[in-house]
Amino acid sequence: MPRIAYFGPTGTFTEMALAQLEAAGTFTGEVERIAAVSQSAALEMVRRGEVAGAVVPIESSVEGSIRPTMDALALGDRLQVMAETELDVAFTIVGRPGATLDDVRTVRAYPVATVQVQSWLDRNLPNAVVEPAASNAGAAEDVAAGLADAGVSTALAGERLGLTALASGVADYEGARTRFVLVTEPGPAPARTGNDRTSVVLHLDNVPGSLVRAMTEFATRGIDLTRIESRPTRKEFGTYLFHLDCVGHIDDGLVAEALKALHRFSDVRFLGSWPSAVPGGGAPMPDADDTAWLERLRRGEAGA
Amino acid sequence: MPRIAYFGPTGTFTEMALAQLEAAGTFTGEVERIAAVSQSAALEMVRRGEVAGAVVPIESSVEGSIRPTMDALALGDRLQVMAETELDVAFTIVGRPGATLDDVRTVRAYPVATVQVQSWLDRNLPNAVVEPAASNAGAAEDVAAGLADAGVSTALAGERLGLTALASGVADYEGARTRFVLVTEPGPAPARTGNDRTSVVLHLDNVPGSLVRAMTEFATRGIDLTRIESRPTRKEFGTYLFHLDCVGHIDDGLVAEALKALHRFSDVRFLGSWPSAVPGGGAPMPDADDTAWLERLRRGEAGA
Amino acid sequence: MPRIAYFGPTGTFTEMALAQLEAAGTFTGEVERIAAVSQSAALEMVRRGEVAGAVVPIESSVEGSIRPTMDALALGDRLQVMAETELDVAFTIVGRPGATLDDVRTVRAYPVATVQVQSWLDRNLPNAVVEPAASNAGAAEDVAAGLADAGVSTALAGERLGLTALASGVADYEGARTRFVLVTEPGPAPARTGNDRTSVVLHLDNVPGSLVRAMTEFATRGIDLTRIESRPTRKEFGTYLFHLDCVGHIDDGLVAEALKALHRFSDVRFLGSWPSAVPGGGAPMPDADDTAWLERLRRGEAGA
Amino acid sequence: MPRIAYFGPTGTFTEMALAQLEAAGTFTGEVERIAAVSQSAALEMVRRGEVAGAVVPIESSVEGSIRPTMDALALGDRLQVMAETELDVAFTIVGRPGATLDDVRTVRAYPVATVQVQSWLDRNLPNAVVEPAASNAGAAEDVAAGLADAGVSTALAGERLGLTALASGVADYEGARTRFVLVTEPGPAPARTGNDRTSVVLHLDNVPGSLVRAMTEFATRGIDLTRIESRPTRKEFGTYLFHLDCVGHIDDGLVAEALKALHRFSDVRFLGSWPSAVPGGGAPMPDADDTAWLERLRRGEAGA
């Protein structure tokens, strides 16, 4: 019965993502879900060996990369992503039992959520004061505790706390999605599927052109970069870590080449290769022909 | 008497930045300061012509780019950065008059600030509950309103509200700084000083290698990129806008060339050229020799 | 009556090229043709001011660049190409009056010609000994002087010397052509036509990647390179000069940019911009839009 | 007793190069030297199985690549370079027994040689007529046959024909050298020495930027290109084959990567990997660390 931490409390989208991973057969045996107060707290539980893995959000199609997750992966002992899943993100506005939208004077919302429902709030609750909550589920807890009239939360959190759904399916941006990853101690990557994602963090020397060089190592090999994100090193203004995601797997010949090439001139942290949750989101990069051709040359075959 | 909006309420670091710009002689005549509830609200006031300019934070050495500012500059009518200033960022922990650190059970903090004082809180207030505030000055207002025992705020905000400074100079990261910019309607850029910064937002076609190409336009001209930031388009997962800052001025020949080159294959939003607040933070890029040489060739001089 | 040198003696393809340039109206007034014994001799006459220009072959579609011309342009005082013309190259086999192919035991041929008729000779004169001649017209002179039975020459040379044409239209490679250029002292380039060619010689520092950098200056601007040729510096084994031809004119904005960029890191010799002899062989590269856009930005227009 | 063809006739620099390879222990058993009338004739003898190998000149520090050799290697069945050697090239001016420089009215010279002694001839034999010879040794044969007063030849050729050395050590360019290669049927390359040379011929699609891409495959891997040479395809004006030489060996990991990368987008003819004749002329490119690091990642080691 593996213990898996998640960014809680109960009722968050992250818990739904964990449930989705469980349903997909990611784990052997029933999972014991352990709520953590933050993304970094969940990952620290992995580092300390208290849990077998942690599920955390990593990117939102609206808000971009989830910085606390990025930073917690980039610093501290190396961890590794083993799986991912995506959720459509639409919010439920929860209120006390019997309340209506007209009663709402104060709304609690997790800041990441606020960005995604601001227009809806402007149209439907123009006079309500919006206050920050600690998480999406936390917004519902705040309502249950009497700290606000309504919360921008999840259906699951509202149900568990016996709250009323004042509105559901609330989302300013159609098709908004969030991606979640399962993180564990380093280990062999899941087997290559042909539709995989690989992620690294680069600590580049502060040399003009070094990022161009890093990206060129992917571009010249025809490997698509799917995400590029800079994060400050927090040591000196204008110095950055770079998070790069590409299609492909460490066992794809060209991806392996690109990783080795990066290793030659930069400090590379490998965050894993794992199956993409999006059908067709990756691209196989066969190099069998090239290798066979090279071997024919090495053997000295005339027809090569 | 120019009206200048700033990310308020009164007492924020942004107001201090505005004061610093005033002291530096950025404005003609005395400034009327207009507090805005958010970065985007301040910029919308410029777009609607209600103010002559707005001061907003754009980047923190600890937390990275300030996303609400980036997004508000990238979308809507084009605006332009005309000046910048930087502040050392160290927080003041404010409490009710007469209180001590031992009395603190709840702390309000703006999430950007929380990241920068987390270690201090862990060491000095390990048992206090941290709740989000709407801004650094808002944290002090929350204390004055009795909503929390202490706030992670600014000295200025605490003084104005008659609060006690429980601790000052609080910062986990030594040398933490934040950069603020003055934004106006588009207009001629301030004159080139030889130590300038230029900023653009690129909407790249979803073509592999297009970002490499864009960065190569700077690299091949020897122009340092000082910031690269991706932001989701919010339309489709995996599509991004890129914010690029470089050293130099639109009136530097090579920067002008690079901008024209970007314009040939991408949708470029020019956010301005302005003097850098950091001595030596930029680099002049003379091309007078090259141009003179080309003109000699064009005239057909033998010695060219 | 301009004096124009050409790679002679009379009857060479180069003289035909000069005639073609005259017919095209390249010169004002009737030309006095001055035969020179070599390409470098013709160019030296220009350098010494003895002639107004010189016509020399520069590239063969079969044999590649004409090295004596390349080297004579790369070294010594700078000269400039002002015009070009192309000829179909097919040879006439000339013999003494009354002779037939069966009589031929010895054949004189300019080595550049030998390469282009070797298969014809193998099939038609398999037993004849081939000896080198000093030029294509020289091969006919050798026959007239009784030094050989036949010569690989031009129709013109044979006629002038009263020789018999044993075969005509001889060419191993269908469509073989040679390009000739008119070279003068440096001067303003002929006006841009939209179908132009520009040529430079680069003396690159012996740095790995410097040629890649030079070529990238063209590639990133979408400028086609039409010829790349390395020539030894003759100083140290493995050090080279590079001859690069591109489409476009020094008055095309992007070509001017590329030339300036090369000048920043290498020793560039400009050999000229001139109209291409091949319809559609070049490509106009308008950048009027980019420049207009940049100017709108500089003026601070809102809609830019 | 291996039969080895060489570019003859007897007395050429190429025969000296073959002798040098013999002395270096390149062959097992005594070599039977077979003179060939041209570089391509020597290589065709290899292709037809008449000889075990052929020695041909490939590059001169003064005249650049030896085109007939380049073209003969690029076309026809693939052959492979297995060894190289270099010779200092200084010429001997040979004359009939008893003659002196004052007697010389006509001089025979192989055109490649003429380029290398032109200044000497201008100073020492200003009035002599220079006629082309078929090879350096052929120039001596022409003198022995009474066809000219003097020949620009080799000491060896003069001695064998009983001619007088009118001058020796004749060379306009100090330190002039020529490189010769031993070419055989394809076979396994000689073992990597750490100071090797690798050569390929690329048939690139006629796409702007494809040569830049090819060169970038070497540059991004830190592999020095030591020679770049374009040769016309002879099919269409402006289409080329490219000969590229680099340091390193097909068994160097990075060179193997670069070759595979070229194979992905172009038609690559591998001409061999062999020990460089120049001490320090190559550079080992270890990638053992990179590979070990990648394997640690694949095994999932935490410290990787």
β-strand pairing of B240-247 with B106-109:
unpaired
Residue D236 touches partner C, C-beta closer than 8 Å: yes
Residue C270 touches partner B, C-beta closer than 8 Å: yes
- Answer whether C77 sits within 8 Å of B264, measured CB to CB: no
Q: Give B299's contacts in chain C (Cβ within 8 Å).
A: 188
Residue B163 pLDDT > 80: yes
Report the neighbours of D using a cutoff of 3 or more CB pairs below 8 angstroms: A, C
pLDDT at C235: 79
B32: left (phi over 0), alpha (psi -120 to 50) or beta: beta
Residue D143 Cα, gap to closest chain A Cα (Å): 43
Residue B226 touches partner A, C-beta closer than 8 Å: yes
Residue B83 Cα, gap to closest chain A Cα (Å): 18
Residue C283 pLDDT > 70: no
d(CA C174, CA C90): 9
Range B137-141, long-range pairs (CB < 8 A, 24+ positions):
B137/B8, B137/B9, B137/B10, B137/B11, B137/B12, B137/B15, B138/B9, B138/B108, B138/B110, B139/B94, B139/B108, B139/B109, B139/B110, B139/B113, B140/B11, B140/B94, B141/B9
- Answer whether A220 sits within 8 Å of D216, measured CB to CB: yes
pTM of the model: 0.85
Which 8-state DSSP code applies to residue D188? P
B144 with B101: CB under 8 angstroms? no
- Answer whether C250 sits within 8 Å of B287, measured CB to CB: no
Residue C54 Cα, gap to closest chain B Cα (Å): 17
pLDDT at D208: 57
Is D216 in a helix, a strand, or coil? helix
Q: Give A274's contacts in chain D (Cβ within 8 Å).
A: none
Answer whether C touches D (≥3 Cβ pairs < 8 Å).
Answer: yes
| Of the candidate ranges A207-216, C68-77, C81-90, D243-252, the one whose mean pLDDT is the lowest | A207-216
d(CA C238, CA C245): 22
Q: What is the pLDDT of residues C5-41, one digit of tens each?
A: 999 899 999 999 999 999 999 999 999 999 998 899 9
User: Which among A250, A257, A263 is the nearest to D257, CB-wise?
Assistant: A257
Q: Give B278's contacts in chain A (Cβ within 8 Å).
A: 237
Answer whether C touches A (≥3 Cβ pairs < 8 Å).
Answer: no
B126 with B149: CB under 8 angstroms? no
Residue C250 pLDDT > 80: yes
Q: What is the mean pLDDT of residues A36-47?
A: 95
pLDDT at B206: 61
Q: Which residue type is seen at C17?
A: A
Q: What is the pLDDT of residues D182-228, one digit of tens each?
A: 999 999 999 999 999 999 999 887 655 778 888 888 988 888 888 88
Q: How far apart, in Å, are the Cα atoms of D120 and each of B200, C182, D92?
A: 62, 30, 12
| Of the candidate ranges C8-12, C195-199, C289-293, D30-34, the one whose mean pLDDT is the lowest | C289-293
Looking at per-residue pLDDT, the higher value among A75 and C284 belongs to A75
* Beta strand ranges found along chain D (DSSP E): 3-7, 32-36, 53-60, 64-65, 80-88, 91-95, 106-109, 129-132, 150-153, 164-170, 177-184, 196-203, 225-232, 240-247, 267-275
Please state the ipTM of this predicted complex: 0.85
Residue D66 pLDDT > 60: yes
Q: What is the mean pLDDT of chain B?
A: 90
- Answer whether A208 sits within 8 Å of B228, measured CB to CB: no
Using 50, 70 and 90 to split pLDDT, how confident is the model at D167?
A: very high
pLDDT at A204: 82
Mutate to test the interface with D, among A260, A269, A285 (most CBs of D within 10 A): A260
User: Which among D80, D251, D294 is the nearest to A256, CB-wise?
Assistant: D294
pLDDT at A284: 55
Residue C292 touches partner B, C-beta closer than 8 Å: no
- Answer whether C186 sits within 8 Å of B300, measured CB to CB: yes
* Beta strand ranges found along chain A (DSSP E): 3-7, 32-36, 53-60, 64-65, 80-88, 91-95, 106-109, 129-132, 150-153, 164-170, 177-184, 196-203, 225-232, 240-247, 267-275
Residue B234 touches partner C, C-beta closer than 8 Å: no
| Of the candidate ranges A226-235, B178-187, D27-36, the one whose mean pLDDT is the lowest | A226-235
d(CA C4, CA C52): 6
- Answer whether D260 sits within 8 Å of A287, measured CB to CB: yes
Is A120 in a helix, a strand, or coil? helix
A274 with A82: CB under 8 angstroms? yes
d(CA D20, CA D178): 13
pLDDT at A128: 92
- Answer whether B212 sits within 8 Å of A212, measured CB to CB: yes
Residue C208 touches partner D, C-beta closer than 8 Å: yes
A137 with A93: CB under 8 angstroms? no
pLDDT at C226: 83
DSSP codes, C61-105 = TTTEE-HHHHHHHHSSS--EEEEEEEEE--EEEEESTT--GGG-S
D220 with A261: CB under 8 angstroms? yes
Closest-CA residue in chain C for B291?
A: C260
- Answer whether A294 sits within 8 Å of D264, measured CB to CB: no
